């Protein structure tokens, strides 16, 4: 029964892979809108959430988005990204809610172990506070399953208990396209419309849609220090210490998160097409190259997610 020659049985109606992913994401966004009474879309100004906004435009225009945009700001973001965030929300004429980790620190709900501790993991506290403040029953995020091991089994509609916790053993089976976003009061759903996308898919989509991005995604010269195989940017928050060798390198960011835990990579790619070429031949995963916080332990992400991290 093994035919030596195979005829590709593909009809002209088959969607190409970006169309398929886009269509699935639109479907997921509309399910959130159809099933949840008070959702929010997490928008940071990063590339994955920029893609989410384009998908939301495709899903809901000419109507308004059936949810506000929400950013949990660590206060340690690059100003280019924050400016981009505000400009984009304004351009879309959608409501942007910003809640900051610094406010949680002022309230005393976030206590840093030391002044220079990364605030990244403390975003969870501020996010849960925002969820409670606004009564959100769902948060839409741009996480992808290819980012990290602990995410490979993440559901597209991921259930979080009253404490915002993610219990890997207590997730709802997800069959066909039948998503279950039902929650009791206090619980909520994290919905991930681009779960099935890879980093390359995201870049290909950005190119196809001609999406604007914060400038730091593209190659630029920046002072950095080489540390443990990663490049640490020299900034006011992360100044050079005695003995550090500061180099002026041409770099770009593959992810833009908290300044204290996001590292750029050496690159000459100053256009989306050059980034795609680099991504297609890259030998280091996105998180491996850029996330200073995931290096701590293999189970780092899983642990943070259990605590309510996105």
For other proteins, the binding residues in 1-30 under the rule CB under 8 A are 1-4, 6-11, 13-24, 26-27, 30
- From residue 209 to residue 248, the character string flagging contacts with other proteins as x (rule: CB under 8 A) and all else as - is ----------------------------------------
**Least Å from the CB of residue 40 to other proteins:** 17
3 state DSSP class of 220? strand
Burial 212-231 (b: 16+ CB within 10 A, else e): ebbebbbbbebebbeeeebb
Contact residue for other proteins among 82, 96, 207, 240 (CB under 8 A): 207
Is 34 a binder of other proteins (CB under 8 A)? yes
Closest to 53 in 3D by CA, of 70, 37, 36: 70
Is 115 a binder of other proteins (CB under 8 A)? no
3 state DSSP class of 265? strand
Contact residue for other proteins among 90, 237, 246, 284 (CB under 8 A): 284
Report, in angstroms and rounded to the nearest whole number, the Rg of the chain calculated over CA atoms: 20
Contacting other proteins within 121-160 (CB under 8 A)? 145-146, 149-150, 152-153
**Least Å from the CB of residue 31 to other proteins:** 6
Q: Are 287 and 263 in contact, with CB atoms under 8 Å apart?
A: no
Q: How many CB atoms lie within 10 A of CB 247?
A: 14
Q: Which C-beta is closer to other proteins: that of 11 or that of 241?
A: 11
Closest to 27 in 3D by CA, of 158, 151, 140, 166: 140
**Least Å from the CB of residue 190 to other proteins:** 15
Distance CA(186)–CA(205), nearest Å, equals 35
Contact residue for other proteins among 95, 182, 227, 246 (CB under 8 A): 182
Distance from CA of residue 58 to its chain's centroid? 19
Contact residue for other proteins among 112, 212, 280, 296 (CB under 8 A): 280
Residue 92 φ/ψ region, left for φ over 0, alpha for ψ in the -120 to 50 degree band, beta for the rest: alpha
Is 169 a binder of other proteins (CB under 8 A)? yes
Q: Which C-beta is closer to other proteins: that of 111 or that of 149?
A: 149
Residue span binding other proteins (CB under 8 A) among the ranges 75-83, 89-97, 98-106, 298-306: 298-306
**Least Å from the CB of residue 73 to other proteins:** 29
**Least Å from the CB of residue 112 to other proteins:** 26
Contacts for 16 with CB less than 8 Å, ≥ 6 apart: none
């Amino acid at each position: 029964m093994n035919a030596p020659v195979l005829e590709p049985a593909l009809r002209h109606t088959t969607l190409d892979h970006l169309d398929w992913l886009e269509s699935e994401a639109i479907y997921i966004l509309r399910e959130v809108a159809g099933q949840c009474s008070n959702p929010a879309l997490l928008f940071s100004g990063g590339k994955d959430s920029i893609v989410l906004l384009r998908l939301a435009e495709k899903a809901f225009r000419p109507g308004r988005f059936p949810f506000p945009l929400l950013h949990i700001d660590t206060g340690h973001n690059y100003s280019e990204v924050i400016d981009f965030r505000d400009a984009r929300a304004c351009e879309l004429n959608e409501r942007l809610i910003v809640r900051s980790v610094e406010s949680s620190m002022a309230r005393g709900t976030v206590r840093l172990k030391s002044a220079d501790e990364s605030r990244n993991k403390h975003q969870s506290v501020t996010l849960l506070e925002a969820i409670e403040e606004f009564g959100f029953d769902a948060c839409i995020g741009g996480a992808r399953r290819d980012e990290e091991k602990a995410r490979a089994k993440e559901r597209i509609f991921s259930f979080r208990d009253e404490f915002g916790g993610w219990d890997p053993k207590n997730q709802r089976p997800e069959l066909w396209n039948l998503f279950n976003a039902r929650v009791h009061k206090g619980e909520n759903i994290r919905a991930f419309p681009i779960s099935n996308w890879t980093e390359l898919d995201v870049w290909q989509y950005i190119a196809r849609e001609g999406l604007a991005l914060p400038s730091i995604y593209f190659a630029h010269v920046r002072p950095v220090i080489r540390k443990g195989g990663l490049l640490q940017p020299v900034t006011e928050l992360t100044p050079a210490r005695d003995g550090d060798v500061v180099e002026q390198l041409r770099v770009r960011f593959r992810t833009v998160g908290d300044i204290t835990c996001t590292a750029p990579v050496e690159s000459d790619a100053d256009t989306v097409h050059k980034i795609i070429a680099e991504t297609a031949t890259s030998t280091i995963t996105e998180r491996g190259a850029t996330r200073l916080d995931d290096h701590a332990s293999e189970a780092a992400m899983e642990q943070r997610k259990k605590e309510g991290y996105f």
